[in-house]
Structure 1
Amino acid sequence: MMQTGIDVLAFLRQPGLEELASCFQARSYPKKSTIFSPNHPEDLIFIVASGRARLFLAYEDKEFALAILERGDVYSTHTRAQVSALEDTTLLCARTSQVRRHMLTLPEFTATMVRVLGEVLKHSISIIDDLAFRDVQTRLVRFLRFVATQSGEAQPGGGTLVRLGLTIEQLASLLGATRQTLSTMLNALEREGRVELRGRGVIFIPNLDALDR
């Protein structure tokens, strides 16, 4: 859920960018499948065309989620991170060397990619900042507010409905917490009337300001 606010897919559909767009080929992956691992042989840049993917680090039996990649999000394979499909997902993939070549000849594309990479870096710094300086409950509240403002559904009677589409385990991994700790926090917020848990991955927030307080 990086939500860079930059629609790279729409950018690639602009007239005059047909050659660049042709570099990106669609690849589809079923739900729960591994998309890329650290040992992936290809050096690729990819864009999420549909579905959602989980970006995470893994060591032995431990995992730490870095982000949920959604439609329009951009990432690459040349990192230690792994990528798996949270649901049926289609990516547009291009070799990094091809993209780099077009960046040299298309200033507008270079500017767009710099903005995208800047937003990705901003997201990464936010993760580090939260883990280093904020407790679990604060991280949870900040995350819920972020998702609510980005993709929440305003309800007729007031409040915001958030459809995370994540299990407790996945959300805990994303926030750097254990499943038990996160469940305790969510139940406490519900007892205080700041959220209502409405089924798997669905949370109703009566008042965003009250959530912060």
Structure 2
Amino acid sequence: MGRMKLSNINLLETLNSPEYLPILATFSERKARKKEILFLPNHYENNVIIVKKGKIRVYLAFDDKEFTLSILEPGDVFSTHTRAYTQCLEDCEFLVSSAENFRKIIKQYPSFTFNIIQVLGDLLHNSITIINGLVFKDVTERLVEFLVNAAEEKGIITEQEIKLNLGLNIEQIAMLVGASRQTVSVLLSDFSKAGIIHRVDQRTLIITNMELLKSLGS
């Protein structure tokens, strides 16, 4: 539920390789502040963005409800011409190119298309996973799935524990799992009391019993 990165492929690293530097030169660079809305649904400009620094939240909003599709991190790509909002979770920098220019790039560099397809495929998978979780799973199951997936992606194994530097605070985790901040805070506190996790600080925790954690989500 709610992977923090859309893909393990980092397009920024790809663009910085010598053969793709001409592509990089066609992008403009922009900066934005924390909580700033970057693009609204169906933005009048059809652009492609690649995150260079910081985290950008992609979400849907209906009335007073919001559904986070993903958190874009450096190297992730997204199109602004969608039904989603994009918002900086922290000060960020990103590269921008028009969709028309991006299509020319793909025609000129066919091998670059493979990276794009994989990223977009991961985005579709992520969206389906979130929809499935919101419809068929309760908050506890969604939080457990998020922590397990995050541990598998970026957890550091130390003896029988897994150190997990999420880089996200409770409010941001709540956004990803479709719950209130208070609910996620209470659940994490319950996990801690049960000896499943240990909170190091606001953005870092240690999973002390992965099997027990997984059992809560089954």
Mark yes or no: TM-score above 0.5.
Answer: yes
| Paired amino acid for 2:165 | R
- Give, in whole Å, the separation in 2 of the partners of 1:39 and 1:76: 10
For the 8 Å contact 1:2–1:123, the answer to whether it is kept is: no
- Determine if the alignment matches structure 1 residue 104 to structure 2 residue 107: yes
User: In structure 1, the residue corresponding to 2:5 is in which secondary structure?
Assistant: coil
* Residues 91-170 of structure 1 mapped to structure 2, 5 A cutoff: 91-155=94-158, 158-170=160-172
* Residues 1-213 of structure 1 mapped to structure 2, 5 A cutoff: 1-38=4-41, 40-155=43-158, 158-213=160-215
User: What's the offset of the Cα at 1:5?
Assistant: 0.9
Query: Which of 8-17 and 99-108 deviates more?
Result: 8-17
For the 8 Å contact 1:2–1:120, the answer to whether it is kept is: no
Identity of aligned residues (%): 39
TM-score (norm 1): 0.90
User: In structure 2, the residue corresponding to 1:31 is in which secondary structure?
Assistant: coil
| Paired amino acid for 1:78 | H
Unaligned runs of 5+ in 2: none
User: In structure 1, the residue corresponding to 2:82 is in which secondary structure?
Assistant: coil
- Give, in whole Å, the separation in 1 of the partners of 2:7 and 2:72: 10
Deviations 1:115-144 (A, max 9, x none): 221111111111122222222111111101
- Give, in whole Å, the separation in 2 of the partners of 1:96 and 1:22: 15
Deviations 1:16-36 (A, max 9, x none): 323322122211112222222
- Give, in whole Å, the separation in 2 of the partners of 1:209 and 1:131: 23
Q: How many residues of Structure 1 are paired with residues of Structure 2 in the alignment?
A: 212
User: What's the offset of the Cα at 1:39?
Assistant: 5.4
TM-score (norm 2): 0.88
User: In structure 2, the residue corresponding to 1:137 is in which secondary structure?
Assistant: helix
Deviations 1:129-164 (A, max 9, x none): 222222211111110111122122334x54122222
For the 8 Å contact 2:69–2:126, the answer to whether it is kept is: no
Query: Which of 65-74 and 199-208 deviates more?
Result: 199-208
